[in-house]
Amino acid sequence: MSLYSTFVKSFIIGIVATILIQRSFAQEPGSGHDEPIKIRRITSPVVLDGLSNEEAWEGIESFPMLMRTPNFGNEPSERTEILIGYDDDYLYVAGRLYDSVPSLIQATSFKRDIWSYGSDNMAIVIDAFNDNENALVFLTTPAGIRTDVNILNDGVGAPVLNANTTWNTFWDVTTIRNNDGWFAEMRIPFSSLRFEEKDGQAVMGISVLRFIARKFEMDNFPLMPEKFGAWGWVMPSQTKKVLFEGVKSHNPLYITPYLIGGLGQSNKLNDTKTAYQRDDKFVHEAGLDFKYGLTNNLTLDVTINTDFAQVEADDQMINLTRHSLFFPEKRLFFQERQGNFDFLFEDDNRLFNSRRIGIHEGEQVRIYGGARIVGRAGPWDIGFLNMQTEKYEDLLSENFNVLRLRKQVINLNSHIGGMITSRIGNRDSWNTTYGIDGDFRLFGDEYLILKWAQSFENDKKNQAVSLEPSKIFVKLNRRKNKGLGYNLSYSRSGAGFNPGIGYERRDNYTRLGDRVQYGWFPSYESRLQNYQVYIEGIAFIRNMDGRIESSDVGPGWAFQTKAGSSGFISFRQSIEDVQNLFPFSDDADVPAGRYTFYGIKSSYSTPQGRLYRITTTFDAGSFYDGSRFTITLKPNADISKYLQLSPMYQLNIVKFPDRNQKFTGHIGQLKISAFLNSKLSLVSLAQYNSAIDKIITNIRFRYNPREGHDLYIVYDEGLNTYRDREIPELPRFSNRTIMLKYSYTFIIGG
């Protein structure tokens, strides 16, 4: 009781102290509080041909671009003009991107949602809610592709950027190349932005970017400070405030029916478990999605008989730890304004993990349907979700609910909020969790984050006044890569804490960490863009006995060159206190005991603006009572805008010579992306994982003439490569599926 009371008092005192500190500091210049720029209205038609030579663009001035890399603050090496205008329905962005050697302009792919330094590009970042936390990025290349990205939590995340790259919306772009360079025009419907309008006016945050791949040159407006590192240009908090007058919200209704048909083959053990029997099943399904703007910044999504047949397979991994792996969400329904549902702790731990819905032990579970509301109501950011799944084997039909609220307080970079989740199978199977949190900008680049959560479920004591079903998280960090920066955190998770639709890598622990660094940005003459020295340290302490369960500590050095290459090297000492034997495979395990071992880890990426590039990661040293060697190679070849190759190979060798044990694990991956144009693509992903002795293949053909109109043909198979490892002998194929999915979006009103 006293410990609980102490925490609650400390939490309240921390919030009060933060408020007092905030009021004693004035806002810093350049933080977006100066007078907004008034964007000029377009009064004549715009022909979307890329050239921006219509009368509509006359008199609109381009933004004053400056170089961010490689030489901060210089004038762009090539003439660059980016203009913005708008009418009643659309926001228009024009790019006149001149080039003195147009034959060297790089356009590496027709791929939708490409996010690569290998291609020249132009982008606009729009903080439509003007909340300094969330933003939308619209990017194109000389090939005319559309890339749209949702930036979350001001872009602050791990390892380098907090962004949802699978988010898509409705917009158009046209580009053209000629002897002067390349030129682009974007047309973004206001209905795709969701903004806050007051008396016909809307204030948003805007930044624009041009990237020249062969020079690894980034030019932008406003000029983002160096201290925020490579991804500083996408930070909503650093955008320039702009004013739109005479704008009104548009709330069309999007109706997207889909049809799916195909053949699935699976092999399952017979009732006597003596042999495998093949089960052929013809699949035919239909479903429906609705999207409607309840207000100008609050969106309702409804789904019926949700299907994810077109989703790319997860990347294969080999787990050399005794804890579960985290896999990111790839299903589009859960993507829009995903940041509204974020309640994050350390090490990927979170109160809500959408992969707990509709996926069970790697298998898909039918989702009958559900609804989600995302956006803003008054001062509150809102995320609400309700989903119902089908009964699957021994898993009950379940109902999932999430409510996330978050409000800006004190200043534009501080928030308080809360989350409630529930997972209900029946009266004997339920879990509910709540959390409250605060993210406070103290001053300058200093931030304080406080979080508290508790879980309750059937068959538990469910004591509210207890630390056992609770989790505490406190973090103090300085968000900058220049000079002194740090990320210091404390968390405690009780033995009874179990977020039913969240993710927890461990249980019943106390954690201390993480990193202190010092960064430099050398002079123009240096080949280095920036570099940092740092020391990282993480310790997990078992709550039940107060002993260190795991720790990892050591120094490191990281760098990025002006040519676009980057890398790091770090040294570490690790401690693992293993209470129960755990295996890596049938051939190697780690007995109970306390181990101290040492290692070195390094990575190097060749210049990312080149058409052919490679990233190499190396991890080696002593490992428990043996040794470890891991090397990962990730080459990329942009052969042309019609063909890309992205192979990957990883080798893991773990040896325990004193116990005559050895584990060798291979992961091989080959991704081939072929494009006829921006509408037709074929992506093949083949993966081999020796730890499970399986080759997994996913081939997807897509015809996408415009956003909301999709035809997919998808082929999946799992091939067993070592069939004799079990009795009875495994089938050659564990599964095979070929599916056709067609969807079309009808837009009504707006």
Backbone angles phi, psi at 496, to 5 degrees: -95, 5
Q: Which domain holds residue 432?
A: 1-29+297-507
- Among 622, 543, 544, 540, smallest CA distance to 577 is for 540
Same domain, 21 and 86: no
Mark whether 190 and 150 lie in a shared domain: yes
CA 502 remoteness from chain centre: 16
Last residue of a domain, one of 461, 478, 507: 507
Domain boundary among 492, 507, 522: 507
What does the pLDDT average to over 190-199? 84
Domain total in the chain? 2
- Assigned token pair, 477: 């960090």
Model pTM score: 0.85
| Bridge pairing between strands 694-706 and 201-212 | unpaired
Query: What is residue 14's predicted lDDT score, i.e. its pLDDT?
Result: 42
Do the beta carbons of residue 182 and residue 105 sit within 8 Å?
Answer: yes
Q: CA 122, 529, 485, 602 torsion: positive or negative?
A: positive
Q: What's the Cα-to-Cα distance from 531 to each of 146, 446, 491, 528, 534, rounded to whole Å? A: 33, 21, 29, 7, 10
- What is the predicted pLDDT for the residue at 273? 83
Instruction: Report the C-alpha gap between 127 and 238 in whole angstroms.
Output: 10
For 44-50, what is the mean pLDDT? 93
Radius of gyration, CA atoms only, the chain: 27
- Domain CATH code at residue 131: 2.60.40.1190
Residue that has been written with the tokens 């970079």 in this structure: 413
- Is 400 inside a domain boundary? yes
Report CA dihedral (726, 731, 734, 738) to the nearest 10 degrees. Answer: 170
Task: Let me know if residue 490 belongs to a domain.
Answer: yes
**Is 239 among the domain residues?**
yes
Residue 10 and residue 155 in one domain = no
Measured distance CA(350)–CA(344) in Å, rounded: 4
Neighbours of 179 (CB within 10 A): 7
Q: Are 5 and 66 in a shared domain?
A: no
Q: Return the SS3 of 251.
A: coil
The answer on 73 and 218 residing in a single domain is yes
The answer to whether position 601 is within a domain reads: no
Last residue of a domain, one of 230, 245, 260: 245
Residues 376 and 433 in one domain: yes
Whose tokens are 């720790």? That residue is: 551
| Span 75-115, pLDDT tens digits | 999 999 999 999 999 999 999 999 999 999 998 888 887 77
Residue 545 belongs to a domain: no
Rounded-to-integer distance, Cα 686 and Cα 432, Å: 39
Average pLDDT over residues 507-535: 93
Q: How far apart are CA 25 and CA 33, in angstroms?
A: 14
What is the overall mean pLDDT for the chain? 89
Q: Calculate the alpha carbon distances from 413 to 131, 235, 577, 589, 675 in Å.
A: 8, 12, 40, 47, 42
**For residue 590, how many other CB atoms are within 10 A of its CB?**
22
Phi, psi of 410 (to 5 degrees): 65, -60
Question: Which pLDDT band, with edges at 50, 70 and 90, does 750 fall under?
Answer: low
Cα distance between residue 428 and residue 425, in whole Å: 8
With respect to residue 713, please indicate whether it lies within any of the assigned structural domains: no
The reported pLDDT for the residue numbered 157 is 61
pLDDT at 152: 81
Residue scoring higher pLDDT (243 or 331): 243
Over 150-216, what HEC string results?
Answer: EECHHHCCCCCCCEECCCCCCCEEEEEEECCEEEEEEEEEHHHCCCCCECCEEEEEEEEEEEEHHHC
| DSSP at 723 | G
Do 7 and 52 fall into the same domain? no
Reported as a single tens digit per residue, the pLDDT across 228-274 is 877 888 999 899 999 999 988 778 899 999 999 999 888 888 888 88
211, 322: one domain: no
Q: Are residues 20 and 67 in the same domain?
A: no
Per-residue pLDDT at 471: 97
In angstroms, rounded to a whole number, what is the distance separating the alpha carbons of residues 390 and 729? Answer: 32
Residue 351 lies in a domain: yes
Residues 89 and 237 occupy one common structural domain = yes
Q: How sure is the predictor about 585, in pLDDT bands with cuts at 50, 70 and 90?
A: confident
The reply to whether 146 falls in a domain is: yes
| Same domain? 382 vs 503 | yes
Tens of pLDDT, residues 379-395:
888 999 999 999 988 88
Residue 268 phi/psi, 5-degree rounding, is -130, 150
Question: Are residue 445 and residue 366 in the same domain, yes or no?
Answer: yes
Of 331, 436, 342, 341, the closest CA to residue 383 belongs to 341
**Contact indicator for 343, 419 with CB cutoff of 8 Å:** yes
Angstrom distances, CA of residue 648 to CA of 399, 489, 616, 645, 663:
39, 34, 10, 10, 20
Choose from 350-364, 586-600, 722-736 the range with maximum mean pLDDT. 586-600
